[in-house]
Amino acid sequence: MKKIPIIMDCDPGHDDAIAIILACASDKIDVRGITTVGGNQTIEKTTNNALRVLRFIDKDIPVAKGANNPIRRELEIAESVHGDSGLDGPELPQPTQEALEISAFELMAQIIEKSDEKITLVPTGPLTNIAIFLLAYPHLKSKIERISLMGGAAIGGNWTAAAEFNILVDPEAADIVFKSGIPITMAGLDVTHKAKVYPEDIAKIKRQGGKVAVLVAELLEFFIRFHRDICGWDFAPLHDPCAIAWLINPDMFTSKKLNVMIDTDGEHTTGCTVTDFYGNNKQEANVDVLLDVDRFQFIDMLIEAVNKYN
Ligand code: RIB
Ligand code: CA
């Protein structure tokens, strides 16, 4: 079966870590490289976390560090959600591999240039690295198959009333990406808030028994804490794995092709992914917006993935 070659750009982060585990377990995905960005935590911490996860799952995938700061704003981190390390909760040994000396953008360019097939980019953090790559290597845009991203929301936000964290951290970068003309799948809050993981799902994952199953369960046990204590929810919305799960099985999702534009300077709406459900703006529908997911299939996919490591 032909695999989908991808580069993940992430800010681990509990859900980013699970997205890496899901991608590396899938026989439909070929993770050619992982780049890191400041977001949930600083670039040093998100890079260290990506390396720690790869050591734990024993995967030798090149990792390169990208931008710490957004294009023109100060970095805002999500320590309240992911903790001081960015991956608080489980005990994860320190990495044995180092990040490459080259930058995230250079690694992206190297992988894309030498690939015989187009590459899919899977950003699950702020879009700073993707935007910088597109600006620095415009000639490589034609070798990008698609961008399957976690970010935004057709309706609402989770960091302000109108904006989701990844887009809000670097709205200028998001604007560049959403105007790039590259096919985009947006796994925004509309779908990720339906990718609900309940305590009973966590228990079921833990009961699978392997060390990766236990790690994923412990990541979720920490991740649900913020959503229970601050949001008052009895579930954790598993955001980032949706961007990978769609690549593995798009039929699990419901989507609509809509025009999405980024607000970069609204008094109350900066970082909003303005989604034109009714075509009022008469603009091209540039994004496949994910709106729903079969939650049971999603949980089954996670369980199948953790068992692949046994
Ligand atoms: O809003 C959720 C997103 O912000 C997820 O990618 C999470 O990891 C954080 O980066
Ligand atoms: Ca993330």
- Stated pTM of the model: 0.98
**Tens of pLDDT, residues 54-105:** 999 999 999 999 998 999 999 999 999 999 999 999 999 999 899 999 999 9
Residues near ligand 1 with C-beta < 6 Å?
11, 13, 15-16, 39-40, 78, 124-125, 150, 158, 164-166, 239-240
Which listed residue (14, 193, 227, 239) is catalytic? 239
Q: In what order do the strands lie in the sheet with 29-36?
A: 63-65, 29-36, 4-10, 119-123, 144-150, 184-187, 287-293, 253-262, 273-276
Q: How confident is the model at residue 1, as a pLDDT?
A: 79
CA distance 74 to 64: 21
Q: In angstroms, what CA-CA distances link 114 with 4, 99, 102?
A: 15, 20, 16
- Whether the Cβ atoms of residue 248 and residue 301 lie closer than 8 Å to each other: yes
Of ligand 1's listed atoms, the one at least distance from the Cα of 16 is: 8
Domains of the chain: 4-307 (3.90.245.10)
Residue 117 has pLDDT above 90, yes or no: yes
- Whether the Cβ atoms of residue 56 and residue 212 lie closer than 8 Å to each other: yes
Q: Whose CA is closest to 22, among 148, 154, 111? A: 148
β-pair type (287-293, 63-65): unpaired
Write the burial class of residue 198 (CB in 10 Å: 0-12 exposed, 13-18 middle, 19+ buried). Answer: middle
Q: Which residues pair with 121 in a beta bridge?
A: 7, 147
